Structure 1
């Protein structure tokens, strides 16, 4: 079985790529999709460890886009992670993330907190900086007790230190994934999207929809499976692993079969025949 939605310390996960592969092997998984947020730096490291552990690694990414006020995450699978266009695109996103985090820190300081941007960068380490790293810095500096408190008091959308993400259209994310030779899938549609928005994203040209996800009830999973069949989309699934005790419980529970992965792989092969 394959978990096609996981995150490493290269974005907001708690485990290095090597640690994640080792954990997956311990869970007896056949393979993993490495899908860090707006970041591909963990893929080669995961591949190297997987060669030792005997796992199949699907090179991927999870792009953060927005549509009509909704956060829409686009998963990319079987991407050429050395593609120049993709690398330029991700570099731009990284700069935008740094700018956003800096503005959040400015707002926190205006609220009377003494928070340095370096403290946030230290939390991010090698990863792509985001609000979770600001939250961790707030906990470490003693301004809040828990990670969730940081969002509840400062970082959530309706809180005083919130800074909106730069607008990136889903169509742009889908296009850059296709240009990098990959397949584009709509991530966890049941988490925050209305049925109307899901249909609009499907019409933009995604190849797959994530039907299996911890945030999907059985009813929602069946709904999205029917939707995938109606629009002739492939189906993906995974634990959305970030680490922690709850994450470790989920790793290996939300999976797709080798047959489903082979369908994705076969479509990539067919597409690439037409590109060359």
Structure 2
């Protein structure tokens, strides 16, 4: 069976491998196709597509957008985007500016806590397009303030912790409309990881679908088999596209492997055919 991975990150956002290295790793893992879906940026897609073409692996131009759903943050994947569309780049510029304002506040909070952390510690500007919380966690670890990335998150940069600042995410309808405006399909990422009542994602999916959502990421490493089954039945009954992916981040999520997640996540190529 031909396998794919439609949720992959590079070091252009919060992954640790370059876009070319991601393509090479996907090829070595035997995948037929991947989607590069960095957070709020498409800066690495062209490089990944070029590397993929040389290796004979299909690279789908994608993105993962953070969106506001009635005060809660959800993530919407955009797949099969037209990278030449100027609307995409103009809108993403405003999203990035909001991220940068948040990062400055988080950096200030860490400094007020007594940590000697500067912008330079978050990464080399020429290599980064998006700075996210994993960059802060790695800076804290590199400086010896914590022993692991998880410790940095748990102590300082998750909701309720002293250095956390909530992201100013655009409304989910804005994200869906942007993805459609540039020729893509809007897919709700990992619906079962959000902290909704009784872990029930279907009211969320229903409202997003009413407002244009095209599909759902059904296959995901943290989705249990019964959850995959329920999502599959729902998508079939409501004519929604089904996708799947590992959410690979390299060393920032060391337990997650490209193409198979924790070792059992398999996404068939037929889902990509349906997406197209």
* TM beyond 0.5: yes
Partner of 2:234: 227
Partner of 1:168: 170
Q: Which structure's residues are more often helix, by fraction?
A: 1
The answer for unaligned runs of 5 or more in structure 2 is: none
Any conservation in 2 of the 1:3–1:254 contact (CA below 8 Å)? Answer: no
SS across alignment from 1:202? helix
Match of 1:70 among 72, 76, 88: 72
Q: Count the aligned residue pairs.
A: 265
SS across alignment from 1:248? coil
Any conservation in 1 of the 2:66–2:169 contact (CA below 8 Å)? Answer: no
Residues 35-91 of structure 1 deviation map (CA, whole Å, 9 limit, x = unaligned): 111110111111111111100111111101121232211111110012111101111
The answer for unaligned runs of 5 or more in structure 1 is: 266-276
Tell me, yes or no, if structure 1 residue 247 matches structure 2 residue 249: no
Distance 1:220 1:123, change over 3 A: farther
Distance 1:5 1:186, change over 3 A: same
Match of 2:271 among 257, 260, 267: 260
Cα distance between partner residues in 2 of 1:52 and 1:253: 28
Deviation of 1:117 (Å): 2.2
Cα distance between partner residues in 2 of 1:36 and 1:248: 16
Cα distance between partner residues in 1 of 2:268 and 2:221: 17
Partner of 1:79: 81
Matches within 5 A, 1:1-276: 1-122=3-124, 125-192=127-194, 193=196, 194-195=200-201, 196-244=203-251, 245-248=254-257, 250=260, 253-265=264-276
Deviation of 1:124 (Å): 9.0
Any conservation in 2 of the 1:239–1:253 contact (CA below 8 Å)? Answer: no
- TM-score of the superposed pair, with normalisation by structure 1: 0.91
Stretch moving more, 248-257 or 226-235: 248-257
Stretch moving more, 240-249 or 206-215: 240-249
SS across alignment from 2:34? strand
Cα distance between partner residues in 2 of 1:124 and 1:108: 24
Stretch moving more, 119-128 or 30-39: 119-128
**Over the residues paired in the alignment, what is the CA RMSD in angstroms?**
1.7
Residues 98-124 of structure 1 deviation map (CA, whole Å, 9 limit, x = unaligned): 111111011111122222122224389
- TM-score of the superposed pair, with normalisation by structure 2: 0.91
Deviation of 1:127 (Å): 3.3
